[in-house]
Amino acid sequence: MERDIGKPLFNLFLMITSAIAFVVASGIPDFEIVGDLSPAFFPQLLSGLIFLLALPCLVKDVNEWRMAAGARSQSAGVSRKRSIAQWLFIILLLIGYIVSFEPLGYIASTALFTFVCVVGLAFVSGVWASLSAIERGKSLIATLVFALLLTLGIFYVFTELFNIPLPT
Amino acid sequence: MSGYIDGLGMVLQWGTLLAIAGGTLLGIIMGSLPGLTSAMAIALLLPVTFGMPPVAGIGMLLGALCGAGASGSIPAILLNIPGTPSSVATTFDGFPMAQKGEAGRALGLAIVASFFGGVASMVILSLLAPPIAEFALRFGPAEYFSLSIFGLVIIASVAGKSLLKGLIAGLIGFFISTIGTDPITGVGRFTFDELSLLTGVNLLPALIGLFAISQVLKDAFEYDPYERMKESAHRIDNARPLFVETLKHWKALLIGIASGSVVGPIPGAGGSIASLVAYDQTRRFSKTPEKFGKGYAPGVVSVESANNALLGGALIPTLALGIPGEAATAVLLGGLMIQGITPGPLLFADQSGTIYGIFLAYLVANFFMLLIMCLGIKLFIRVLMVPRKQLLAAILVFCFIGVYGVDGDVFNLYLMLGFGVLGYFLNRYDFGTAPVILGLILGPIAESNLRRGLQSFEGDWTPFFTRPISVTFLVIAAGLLALTLWQNYRSKHPRAT
Amino acid sequence: MKNLLSTLTLAIGMVAGGQALANDYPNKSIEVIVPFSAGGGNDTFVRALQPLLEEQLGETLVIRNIAGGGGAVGLSRGVASAADGYTMMAASTGMLSLEAMGNVPFTHEDFDFIAKVVEEPYLLAVSSESPYQTVDSLIEAASSGSVRVGVSGIGSSAHITANAIANITSSNFNLIPYPGGSEAISAVMGGHVEAVVLGGAELRSGLEAGRLNALATTYAERSDNLPDVPTFQESGYDLTISVWRGLVGPQGLPDDVKEQWVAAIQQIVEDGSYEETANNLGTELAPLYGDELDVFIDESAAIMLEAAGDLAK
């Protein structure tokens, strides 16, 4: 069994978040309406329940984590690092895409995103380093063509056929 | 009967048939892209229908409704991306089938099940619309509340490895649904002065985030550049409509049709949960419930038949009362009114045959849907041949444009990403994302109707337990809950025999 | 200030480009923001108008649904866009109620109103099986006990109007907010509320089918579509509110752009090409332009603000 500290930590995260939500919910102003529960009732009930139910999960997952101590091998550590890098790369790239979407317009931001996504994944995953110069050039051109085709294809379909405007 | 002959005369004209086929094709295309919905397809076609005779115009809109209803299964099966809430349940067994190399078979079943669901619901619509519509009217706050409680029991069926964690995921979804303007008093809850949150968290970015983005993040995490392509494992030869096999799963098919036709007509609640109810019931009535969620054909059949049966169901209150249940039928109602057709009991008593023309147009739309989907099935499946990196990038772009295209609000893109990260961890740590969606959909129905009921009954709780429909739902929900807990107990403590 | 600047820019443009400016517009497609999702009353109104406007203006209209915040997101985006006539908005009473409820960073002063195109009344309606078939009997019932009145959406203009009706008739209405018009209609048909206050368009099919009866209209005079429905004024209550839909741009539109739009809409109204559609949708043509329109909007905004009263925060 893989030892993953994230599992108990996520429960802890849920408990902390729900506790904060509970406190914030107490600040929701009340409006007196006959028979009605207050607007804060459900948020508090739900965050309270999440907190209470996450507690046994936390205990169970911490126990499992301690039982699985030392089960991880060294080689898993290397590929794990690469996995995390790939994961973070996609998230950061998406944030960049969202930020640049309206300022740069759809075509520029999407083409850029697609290109960087494909090339970047090759880079982060370590394939890039193993390629020869010619292979790199080929893959760059192929990716560029793919990015442009995808971007312009979607643009045409959305704006011309569906009449759904995209920022330019 | 003469009404049907008049109606047939209206439908069997080249122009009308062409309009229906065109509408169906557009519906299929838009329904298969994440984010784009049948409501948008219908809105897009609305201006086109103005100049047409009523049956042709309405037929075109019905075609879009029918096409989009069926094609939502394509991304759900191939990529684990449900484009609408009603195709969430398609991913449960459809995507595992695709992962086992059976994408073609899953699609083949889905198409035929959609067709049967659509045709059956058209028959029900034409025969029973007025009484079913009257029944739907009896749903007041108490009934809606109890219905949502009944729906929440479904969490047990869609929870992953741990019932407790599934429950937590459902509560998280429910909690997120309380964000926004309070539906009863109008005070802001967790809105933090963000205009986009005034009307609450949008379902679409949540849906795409929890399913598609989280899946992409998982793929990115597990991405191994040296892994050999798995595409060769995909069998193309079974990518064809599977009539015989679908009929073999007749029990799942019937449950799907029944759920879609019964739950579909309930305005505001039906559309999103009918397919989940179908999945849940099929699993409960199955002799092998443990096979569900791992790529089991009846799961796909019941959900997809429910998905298209609910469209006919949703048309019932729209046509019989002029009450659209959700966005797609609301736009459709606009289309009817522009054509000068007034929904209501009079429409059904009208001797001119228009209503029969509408029924038949819907039937024809189902046939076009079957035809177009059958022609396209081998094409759809090629999506899986796209190399991993490129596919990842393309999926992200489609999700992005889909979410942005609907509301044009950049805030929703951040929401989508946030839900993606949340969904990734929920999946990774055995909570599952389906319960979150269920909580998001049913939460507002439960809360607002409980409070609306208390306001209507002036603080009195008893009507929730004394009104017949309401108490029936509550009793069934309690029974199912007890059954689940008992089964759960039994599976953990097998009695020695 | 903004106004002054744009006038200045316009003046410079006129000097530099002369008549060319007027002839040039429109030379690319025009975006019309619908601040709601596809399928709402606003959306249908504009989409039905779209082909006619395109014909008149000679350019494509691109309808862009920017939903969220009950119209707040789309309208604030429209207000912030360039006042060059290439971004317009579909507006309705809803923008005034948003302003009245005090949730949004704009007021009606931030818009340039081009035209009001259609209008519909708010109707107080009951089920045809209801024991209360006149305004007076409903109000009398409300004085002896609480009467449940369904409205669509908390803080919506229907909600505000219902509140105004309750106040002006001194009735004890238990206002029950539903998420939308169709939910409220099914509640009144099913007897879960005694009455509803909703726009005429939403109620149209229920009224025509005979399932619902309208007790009173918020118009100043009886409307042609519903000649049998008395006004609140007739019943002795001084209440006049209507739902209007029209087209607006951000403040500071060039005059010639405004003129072209007004001319286009006038033409559409006069040749009758929109009339049938408008009637089928349960609305009626009630065109208003220019200064008269500005006065009307100012008055409506004041009425909404007053009607919102204790609902607003």
**Do A38 and A82 fall within a single domain?**
no
The mean pLDDT value for B121-136 works out to: 89
User: Does some domain include residue A168?
Assistant: no
pLDDT for the residue numbered B200: 87
Identify the band that residue C110 occupies on the pLDDT scale cut at 50, 70 and 90: very high
- The CATH class, in words, for C2-119+244-288 is alpha beta
pLDDT for the residue numbered C39: 67
pLDDT for the residue numbered C172: 86
Mutate to test the interface with A, among B176, B178, B228, B438 (most CBs of A within 10 A): B178
Identify the band that residue C9 occupies on the pLDDT scale cut at 50, 70 and 90: very low
pLDDT for the residue numbered C204: 86
pLDDT for the residue numbered C1: 39
pLDDT for the residue numbered A162: 81
* pLDDT tens digits along B335-375: 888 888 888 877 887 767 889 999 999 999 999 999 999 99
Q: Which two tokens stand for residue B83?
A: 């484009």
DSSP class of residue B80 equals: S
Give the span between the Cα atoms of B360 and B432, in whole angstroms: 42
Q: What is the mean pLDDT of chain B?
A: 88
Number of other residues whose CB lies within 10 A of the CB of residue B264: 34
CA angle C9, C10, C11 (to 5 degrees): 90
The mean pLDDT value for B184-189 works out to: 85
Identify the band that residue B48 occupies on the pLDDT scale cut at 50, 70 and 90: confident
* pLDDT tens digits along C277-286: 888 888 889 9
User: Could you say which of A67, A89, A108 is where a domain stops?
Assistant: A67
The mean pLDDT value for B262-286 works out to: 84
pLDDT for the residue numbered B463: 93
Contacts of B413 in chain A (CB under 8 A): 98, 101
**Cα B465 vs. chain centroid, distance in angstroms?**
29
Residue indicated by tokens 């904060």: A20
pLDDT for the residue numbered B92: 92
- pLDDT-wise least confident of A10-14, B488-492, C164-168, C260-264: B488-492
% helix / strand / coil in chain B, to the nearest 5?
A: 75, 0, 25
Give the span between the Cα atoms of C21 and B59, in whole angstroms: 45
End-to-end CA distance of chain B: 62
Give the span between the Cα atoms of B293 and B419, in whole angstroms: 22
CB B40 within 8 A of CB C38: yes
Contact check, Cβ <8 Å, C174/A34: yes
User: Does some domain include residue A144?
Assistant: yes
Q: B58-88: buried (b, 16+ CB within 10 Å) or exposed (e) per residue? A: bbbbbbbbbbbbbbbbbbbbbbbbbbbbbbb
Q: Which residue is closest to B181 within chain C, CA to CA? A: C154
**Do A78 and A133 fall within a single domain?**
yes
Closest to B126 in 3D by CA, of B429, B366, B348:
B348
- pLDDT-wise least confident of B58-67, B374-383, C21-30: C21-30
Contact check, Cβ <8 Å, B455/C193: no
Closest to C63 in 3D by CA, of C102, C28, C101, C35:
C35
CB B249 within 8 A of CB B297: yes
**Do A152 and A128 fall within a single domain?**
yes
Identify the band that residue B383 occupies on the pLDDT scale cut at 50, 70 and 90: confident
The residue ranges of every structural domain in chain C are 2-119+244-288, 121-217
Which of A71-75, B248-252, C142-146, C202-206 reaches the highest mean pLDDT? B248-252
Number of other residues whose CB lies within 10 A of the CB of residue C291: 8
User: Any idea which architecture C121-217 has in CATH?
Assistant: 3-Layer(aba) Sandwich (3.40)
pLDDT at C18 over 50: no
Bridge partner list, C242: C121
Domain hosting A51: range is: 6-67
pLDDT for the residue numbered C201: 86
pLDDT for the residue numbered B206: 93
pLDDT at C51 over 50: yes
Contact check, Cβ <8 Å, A98/B414: yes
pLDDT for the residue numbered C12: 44
Q: Is the ipTM of this complex over 0.90?
A: yes
CB C161 within 8 A of CB C175: no
Contact check, Cβ <8 Å, A163/C31: no
- pLDDT-wise least confident of B413-422, C5-14, C196-205, C254-263: C5-14
**Do A84 and A152 fall within a single domain?**
yes
Give the span between the Cα atoms of C52 and C46, in whole angstroms: 10
β-pairing, C30-34 with C87-92? parallel
CA angle B71, B74, B78 (to 5 degrees): 175
User: Could you say which of A21, A47, A67 is where a domain stops?
Assistant: A67
* pLDDT tens digits along B210-266: 999 999 999 999 888 776 545 445 666 677 888 888 889 999 999 999 999 988 888
Percent pLDDT > 90 in chain C is 49
Residue indicated by tokens 């008549």: C19
CA distance A92 to chain C (A): 26
The size of the A-B interface in CB pairs under 8 A is 171
Q: C58-87: buried (b, 16+ CB within 10 Å) or exposed (e) per residue? A: eeebbbbbbbbbbbbbbbbbbbeeebbbbb
Q: Which residue is closest to C65 within chain A, CA to CA? A: A164
User: Does some domain include residue A1?
Assistant: no
CA angle C180, C181, C183 (to 5 degrees): 70
Number of other residues whose CB lies within 10 A of the CB of residue A2: 9
**Do A51 and A92 fall within a single domain?**
no
pLDDT at B400 over 70: yes
Per the omega criterion (within 30 degrees of 0), is the bond before C26 cis?
yes
Give the span between the Cα atoms of B325 and C177, in whole angstroms: 17
State whether residue C40 is helix, strand or coil: coil
pLDDT for the residue numbered C25: 86
Write the single-letter amino acid at A110: T
Q: What is the mean pLDDT of chain C?
A: 86
B1 versus B412: which is more confidently predicted?
Answer: B412
Please enumerate in sequence order all residues whose Cβ is within 8 A of that of B94, keeping only pairs 6 or more positions apart, or say none: B73, B76, B77, B106, B110, B299, B300, B303
Number of domains in chain A: 2
Give the span between the Cα atoms of C297 and B355, in whole angstroms: 42
* pLDDT tens digits along A109-132: 999 999 999 999 988 888 888 888
pLDDT at C89 over 90: yes
Contacts of A26 in chain B (CB under 8 A): none
